[in-house]
Amino acid sequence: MGMKTEEKLIIKGKRIDGRKPDEIREIEMKVGVIPNANGSAQVRFGNTIAIAGVYGPRPLYPKHLQKSDTGILQCRYNMAPFSVDERISPGPSRRSTEITKVTRLALEPALFLEEYPETVVDVYIEILQADGSTRVTGINAASLALADAGVPMRDLVVALSGGKIDDTMIIDLCGKEDNYSEADMPVAFLPRRKEITLLQMDGMLTSEEVKHIIKMILKAGEKIYEKQKEVLRKKYKE
């Protein structure tokens, strides 16, 4: 945000990569990609690639972090140094710390952790390639990894970004759109009852536009949900 461009991001209803405003990029999903993890998944939306690994439920140390009546969820969102044009120094940044927090809050409501007191479920998300909407791609991967790991869930978690470019409301922002958009809004939700677990926004929108974009996301998210279900079932087919 804050960057302005002379270039038009939408010409005759088509975005810079040829998509329609309510069209998602090409999606690729795989589970069981990390043999050492209890569960794992790799998800690609266009050129954004995220890989998630789940370890647990497992013992939680230090002991004072343990909760006697429930397990806890720990998350880490991290961008690989080579994931962007200008190399990122390894290690947590303020941005990745905030994304780690909102990712955890996006996934936690989906899990039944009361059945695993004193334990921890660790979810690690690595962004291997960044081309916009990395946190939602990470959440989609984490949701698959958690199901793959056999952590009990009330529903899968679906995540998608929305926004506004050249006065047009869109979903699934790629990197360039992310940089020049008038607004960027990542959302995550539990699809069965359309309950929202992540909602952030920066930019400039009327409250009507906010609501319209959320509705676009809830609708388009169905496609992501179908893909997630398909890839989980596929793991057990030959």
Partner 1 sequence: MRSEYILKLIENDERIDGRKMDEFRKINVETGCIKRAEGSARVKFGKTDVIVGIKMEIGEPFSDMPNMGVLKTGAEFTPIASPDFESGPPGEDAIELARVVDRGIRESECIDLEKLCLKEEEKVWEVYVDIHIINHDGNLIGASALAAISALKTTKIPKLEDDKIIRDKLEKKLPLLHEPITVTVGKVSDKFIIDSTKEEEEVLNSKLTVAIMEDEKICAMQKGGTDRISFDDIEKMINLAIKKSKELRKLL
Partner 2 sequence: MIETREIVLPGEILADVKEGRPGHGTFIEDGKIISKFLGIPKMGEYISVIPLSGVYIPKRQDKVIGFITGIEKVGWIADINSPWDAFLPLSEAVDEFIDFKKTDISRYYDVGDTVYATILDIKRGSIQLSMREPMARKLKGGVTIKITSSKVPRLIGKEGSMINTIKEKTRTIIRVGQNGVVWISGEKVDKAIKAIKMIDEKSHILGLTDEISKLLSD
Continuous segment of H or E residues that includes residue 122: strand 119-129
DSSP annotation of 87:
P
Distance from the Cα of residue 2 to its chain's centroid? 23
160 counts as binding partner 1 under rule CB under 8 A: no
Q: 134-148 and 207-234 are packed helices; what angle lies between their axes, rounded to 10 degrees?
A: 40
Rg (CA), the chain: 18
CB of 238 to partner 1, least distance (A): 36
Cβ proximity to partner 2, 58 vs 95, nearer residue: 58
Q: Where are the alpha helices (DSSP H) in 62-117?
A: 94-107
Which of the ranges 51-59, 62-70, 140-148, 189-197 carries the binding residues for partner 1, by CB under 8 A? 189-197
Q: Alpha-carbon distance 142 to 43, whole Å?
A: 9
Which residues of the shown chain bind partner 2 in the complex (CB under 8 A)? Answer: 38-39, 56-59, 68, 71, 112, 115-119, 147-156, 190-193, 229, 232-233, 236-238
Cβ proximity to partner 1, 42 vs 181, nearer residue: 181
Q: Please tell me the count of residues contacting partner 1 according to CB under 8 A.
A: 36
Residue 204 near which of partner 2, partner 1, none (CB within 5-8 Å, type-dependent): partner 1
- Name residues contacting partner 1, limited to 96-125 (CB under 8 A): 97-98, 100-102, 105, 108-109
Dihedral sign of CA atoms 238, 30, 173, 75 in order: positive
Q: Alpha-carbon distance 102 to 77, whole Å?
A: 10
Cβ proximity to partner 2, 56 vs 186, nearer residue: 56
CB of 68 to partner 1, least distance (A): 16
194 counts as binding partner 1 under rule CB under 8 A: yes
Angle at 42 between CA 73 and CA 190, to 5 degrees: 50
* Interacting residue ranges for partner 1, rule: CB under 8 A: 1-3, 94-95, 97-98, 100-102, 105, 108-109, 185, 189-190, 193-207, 210-211, 214-215, 218
